[in-house]
Amino acid sequence: MKGFIKSAIACSIALSSVSCTTTTEEAKQQPNILLILVDDLGYGDLSINGGTDIYTPHIDQLFKQGMMFTNFYANSTVCSPTRASLLTGCYPDMAGVPGVIRTHETNSWGYLREDLATLPQMLKKAGYNAAIIGKWHLGLESPNTPNERGFDFFHGFLGDMMDDYWTHLRHGKNYMRLNQKEIQPEGHATDIFSDWAIDYFQEVKQEDNPFFLYLAYNAPHFPIQPPDEWLEKVKQQNPGLSELRAKNLAFVEHMDDGIGRVLAALESTGLSENTLVIFSSDNGGSLPHGASNAPLRGGKQDMYEGGIKVPTCFVWKDHIQGGTTTENLGLTMDIYPTLLDITGVALQNQIDGLSLYPTLTGKEQNTSERAVYFMRREGAHYGGLCYYAARLGDFKLLQNSPFEPLQLFNLETDPKEENPLDVSVQEYDSLKYIQSQHIRKVGAIPWQKPSDYSDQNFHK
């Protein structure tokens, strides 16, 4: 086992040390960037991803135009941690956001580190105008608001979730903002964010500088509130559906329509000719609210595949071959170094993500042999404790609460995670040890020697 761990860790170090590897003139390009992140989308809630009772033509078409990742993972089972990883290129606990940031301090579990350079701050080094439209969820007040963390323009929602998609309130508070100004827009939040993105394209189409637009929908996060006409349409098309499932389908299909309008506007303004479009979700779908993560086990909040594996694609005309798929392992935090690689921006601080640019351009790359980690800290019945998962190759060690025993699965032979392996299997102790060293690194205090697992003092 000593050799197995040493080899695995050496591989992880080697991969992380070359997070941004493409520094040639070829990489120093200036595409516009549209990053669409949706909220709690079920893995099986896209027709292109196997959904049989749902119709998502616009997202489907986007996936067909670029490269689809069949092994792409959110960095956490819930919202804030994944978003912190997206904007820092780091694991959530390394970014200071191990759990959900909320309105009430006693139930808030993160603070985005101020010493980390965010993605918009880095892209501005390459001349980008950086904007966020939609959900922020990484801070409700100064200094962790979008305009203070690198975005030139913010038109959206500061909070975690809306209690109502029409009033846009959370705990009776209004978190809708135009930059720093409180605003009160009218309409369904999904339509509002789509409209604002379209307006943004009209504003920047004549600009000389490229743009980075982070379009973050609240949908389809609960409460599940599709407009009435969309719910009626779904019920007519699928009369045998339960009310719960019908509402979820209508909610996603309504969002798909909004994304279709956004992509059509990108095309009509001529901006699509040189725009890299990325689509992903912050975690899996919520099963109690009618989502489907088929054929995966589990859902939002679980470390099972259904909680963290997310539909993801990259589309870039004349640069990424359309209609392609890759089995390479990707995580939300990899988007950060990938975009820096493409735009030729050098890293400012150490990150955990790995550039996927070689994969996107058809070059040889294997990202699946690194050890990767997933975690979440939460209050309530979790007691403020963390729970974890770790993966290396086909083996995955996980728990779904801090009080559950760790279970080991072989995803190649057991993709639905139905048959945990015996704890005597070598990989069980190996992954458990590797995971412990990540926890040690994140929680380092002065008496510990700072290390990227280089001490080589492995247990037998």
- Among 30, 26, 72, 124, CA closest to 316: 30
- Among 282, 131, 121, CA closest to 201: 131
- Among 360, 447, 430, CA closest to 393: 430
Give 3-state DSSP helix, strand, coil % of the chain, rounded to 5.
Answer: 35, 15, 50
Structure tokens at 45: 């809630």
CB 250 within 8 A of CB 289: no
Structure tokens at 20: 């941004």
* Kind plus residue range of the DSSP H or E element containing 409: strand 407-410
- Among 154, 294, 170, CA closest to 212: 154
Instruction: Kindly report the number of other CB atoms within 10 A of residue 403's CB atom.
Output: 11
Question: What are the CA-CA distances from residue 436 to residues 368, 389, 430, 442, 458 (Å)?
Answer: 20, 11, 10, 10, 11
Active-site hit among 20, 90, 137, 168: 137
Q: What residues are paired with 377 via a beta bridge?
A: 386
How far is the C-alpha of 285 from the C-alpha of 300, rounded, in Å? 5
What is the 3 state secondary structure string of 91-151? CCCCCCCCCCCCCCHHHCCCCCCCCCCCHHHHHHHHCCEEEEEEECCCCCCCCCCHHHHCC
CB 449 within 8 A of CB 455: yes
Annotated catalytic residue 104? no
How far is the C-alpha of 212 from the C-alpha of 112, rounded, in Å? 21
Annotated catalytic residue 459? no
CA atoms within 13 A on the CB side of 171: 8
Active-site hit among 11, 20, 58, 79: 79
Q: What are phi and psi of 99, to 5 degrees?
A: -145, -165
Coil, strand, or helix at residue 239? coil
How far is the C-alpha of 179 from the C-alpha of 146, rounded, in Å? 8
How far is the C-alpha of 313 from the C-alpha of 332, rounded, in Å? 12
Coil, strand, or helix at residue 63? helix
Which residues are part of the catalytic machinery? 79, 137
